[in-house]
Amino acid sequence: MIDFDTFPRMVISHGPTPLEAMPRLSQALGCNLFIKRDDCTGLAGGGNKTRKLEYLLAAARDAGADTLITIGGLQSNHARQTAAAAAKFGFACELVLEDVEGTPKQDYYNNGNILLDKLFGATIHAVAEGVDSVAFADQLMARLIDAGKKPYLIPVGGSNEVGSLGYVRCANEILAQIVEQGITVDQIVLASGSAGTQAGLLAGLIAAGADIPVLGIAVSRDTQAQQALVQALLEKTLQHMGLDPALANGRVIADGGYYGAGYGITTPATIEAVKMSAEQEGVLLDPVYTGKGMAGLIDKCRTGAFSAKQNVLFLHTGGSQGLFAYREVLS
């Protein structure tokens, strides 16, 4: 196991998060399903970004920063958790949030995550769809520095080799829980976007010598593009941990068949997955990430890609706060 004491961390998350069976959904789909509840990490309603922020905030603190800047869509879960973490530890927070074409607009601009961003006191820079948000953030950094501030830029989704350490830690947590509960896991499934969660989880499994396959259901890219993104970050994360990046070879599996028209745009299968999880298990998914991830899992159960003999673990990365921005397509 990796010695985590060598990596600076600011403890934020509630953990370990539960790992539970999903008996009613299992019965409905003919698969043996479990869920890792990283919607229960605690910060601002929970979600996977909390684990990443523990390492990213430590890096910001050690750099002497007084302001956090990050980038995302207007309903970004990552932005919400970054704003909350900034409030908790006394950083100013600047959010560069891009509009997303094709999303339902009735509640999109004023409810869900963006309402919470404002409650946490973040300054929101709303940019039009198609504007280069990274370039905008770089210009904002320069302006803040000129004003005497010390900003720290957190990448989209908190997904770099520092943020990915949060899911290296989560991999160890999962491995400990399945031993404690006396179960085996044959497959892990998660929604895969900016790649840090999947890359970190794989890095943790590799470091622990565990060969559990991890399937990333892409939420915004085709299979080839998503696999390349995860592969690159996995190699960087392994190298950051002092491991051979070649250990990443053959470990990255993604499926780009479920994201529909693009990021943040729902599909009928997404809506079905959100409603089915709520009605069968009382579990709230979101329309952007976990709904698409669960839609992929449901389809693979129905088509026989996953069998009744396999134990499949769904990693719930949070995001239910975004449901309120999508009321018109859910009601």
Residues assigned a catalytic role: 76
154: number of CA atoms within 13 Å, CB side? 40
Tokens 């002497």 -> residue: 64
Query: 122-139: buried (b, 16+ CB within 10 Å) or exposed (e) per residue?
Result: beebebeeeeebeeebee
* Side chain identity, residue 292: K
Nearest to 240 by CA among 55, 69, 53, 41: 55
Contacts of 111 (CB under 8 A, 6+ apart): 324, 325, 327
> Which helix or strand (DSSP H or E) is residue 114 part of?
helix 113-119
Q: 251 is written with which tokens?
A: 């470990």
Give the Cα separation of 290 and 284 in Å (integer). Answer: 9
Q: Any idea what DSSP says for residue 155?
A: P
**Surface-to-core class of residue 142, CB atoms within 10 Å of its CB (0-12 exposed, 13-18 middle, 19+ buried):** exposed
